[in-house]
Amino acid sequence: MQQLWNLILYKPLINALAFLVSVIPGGDVGIAVILLTLLVKAILFPLSQRSIESQAKMNILNPEIKKIKESGVSKEEQARLTMELYKNNKTNPFSGCLLVLIQIPIIFALYFVFINGIKFNSDFLYSFIHVPMNPNMNFLGLLDISKPSILLALLAGASQFFQAYYMPKPIPSSSKTRSFQDSLASSMNMQMKYIFPIIVVLIAYKISGAVALYWITSNIFTIWQQIYISKKKKADLVVK
């Protein structure tokens, strides 16, 4: 399993990082981290785009689904009406989860490239990729990303907050009493917005500035993607 992980995910990413460090003037590893993160996010863009769109559509359809459940019809009729609602709105309730699961191994591999201290071990490099001669860990000559950075850690937490802020939010039920699903969704949204950024700050500060820089870049890209998709697909997310 470890060999398969290295072959398919870890080695391509560490080689891409080594190549970027070799061609970037001054061998600035921080810039290479940003470029590699953007490259991976761009490759995953179609998958994450569909995942965000699916989540947004599901949130908008939730009130309609609740109306079906509260209509008093049989379970079989509820299932038929729900599937018809999904079909009419071209929504697959499982597509979002599936697309996220596909992305997780790639994101974890990218994370481990940075968490391992960015060691360019020749055993992991392809024959046509040379070990960078003078990797520069001082990002823009200002911050040593091989060490923890409180500034980058705080920026990572802030970017995580805004990433959660721009996530598609569940539409509350029109009924006066909140359902368990509404309460759970609201609680999860609050934790993602206020608790998880604090966890990100602690993790990013404990590990290294490189991990924090990766987190910042990834979150900023995701924020842009969420805003972009929201504006582009706004008309398509109206319930038919």
User: Which of 127, 65, 73 lies closest to 93, judged by CA?
Assistant: 65
Q: Are 91 and 194 in contact (CB under 8 A)?
A: no
Rounded Cα distance, 3 and 21, in Å: 25
| Per-domain boundaries in the chain | 2-237
pLDDT over threshold 90, residue 10 = no
- Lowest average pLDDT, out of 69-73, 96-100, 125-129, 202-206, goes to 96-100
Helix/strand/coil percentages in the chain, nearest 5: 70, 0, 25
Q: What is the pTM of this model?
A: 0.74
pLDDT over threshold 60, residue 137 = yes
**pLDDT over 90, % of the chain:** 11
What's the mean pLDDT in 120-125? 78
Please report, for residues 108, 178, 187, 204, the alpha-carbon distance to residue 173 in angstroms, rounded to integers and kept in the order given: 36, 7, 15, 37
Token pair of 8 as six digits: 């398919």
What is residue 237's predicted lDDT score, i.e. its pLDDT?
A: 45
Q: What does the pLDDT look like over 68-83, one tens digit per residue? A: 877 777 878 878 888 8
Mention every residue, 6+ apart, whose C-beta is less than 8 A from residue 65.
82, 85
